[in-house]
Amino acid sequence: MSPTRRTYLTALATTTVLTVAGCSSSESPTETPAVTTTPGVSEPTTDGTTDRPETDTRGGDLPSYADRAAYTEESLSLEATEECSLGATLTLPEGDGAVPGVVIVHGSGPNDRDGTVGPLQPYRDLAVGLASRGIAVLRYDKRTFACQQSIDPTAFTIDDVVTEDVLTAVSRLREQPRVDREDIVVVGHSLGGALAPRVASRDGGLAGIALLAANARPLPDLIVDQTRYALERDGELTDAERRRLEQTRALAERLRTADIGDEEVLAGGGEPFWRSLAEYDQVETATAIETPILLAQGERDRQVTVADDLSRWRDTLGDRTDVRIHTYPGLNHYFVDGAGALETGGQPEDGFVAESLIADLADWIEGVVEAA
């Protein structure tokens, strides 16, 4: 085992994972500071992919708005590195005519194509919901989920683990015969939403971008606020909890300034990752593009909030005629009606992405592609 790999695994073993602006698969605070991990620790196979069965979204426990007869599914593979490809699923409406297309972008953490976190599969819900309404959806396993043996966590940037793969997925979707190449929309969740303006700026030809629970604040700020919320959830802070919060503040400051050694991994990333994230301002980038934008936010979201995140998006973009904003009472960070991870102290409550979000998203997509 290489020194870099050993350092990485040691860091993961001693890091508590809390969802930070995204969808990490482990979310239970313990006695160490609660932070997110980007690469993750899913068990890889010898070819660099994860040993995970395909999800059949034409059957099983699906939301009521999924019309199983309205779409088909096809497995694809997206090249990420020379050593590793990303498993993907294209959910395609039945019929012969051209349809708009969507690429779903993951939040933080090592997410599979369905966005699986506990009992939830929000990206699968989005795919079957939109496909049932005549919109093709491409979703894929994130590089930090699928390629753990072939990527160096001390070296990758946000473009390596997010932006480049989104652009690859967009290009692949444009190649599909049934998909109108001019009518492609990127739908980003959480950190994926924050990076959607970056993708739009790089691509230059997207019909729109949807930012679902997208953080406007830097991730280190969210790490502190989410840790504070988790610790204060049951009342007053104990002395031990105060020490944990101070440790988290110290960690966040190191992440904010990218004060990380060459062989060090903090909160799932090395110096290049946190440096590239610190140099990116999602709100400023969004103001510089002319792409139509949808902002959607659950009012029960404790991870990315209406008060601290959506308010900045609204203050900066709210006057634009090509920006639409929706808020949803009762919906959590995954747009499911119920308590989320920070409220429960563990896994989010069971459920499906709310049909109201699916309907609003589908209507908005139809509107922007018609106006394009």
CA-nearest of 236, 194, 207 to 98 is 207
What are residue 296's DSSP bridge partners? 212, 326
- Chain centroid to CA 141: 11
For the chain, the farthest-separated pair of C-alpha atoms sits apart, in whole angstroms, at: 64
Q: Which residues are catalytic?
A: 190, 301, 333
DSSP for residue 307: I
Q: Which residues contact 122 (CB under 8 A, 6 or more apart)?
A: 23, 114, 115, 189, 334, 335, 336, 353
Q: Return left, alpha or beta for 232; rule: phi > 0 is left, psi -120 to 50 is alpha, else beta.
A: alpha
Pairing mode, strands 16-17 and 34-35: parallel
By the 8 A CB rule, do 218 and 278 touch? yes
CA-nearest of 227, 211, 207, 209 to 219 is 227
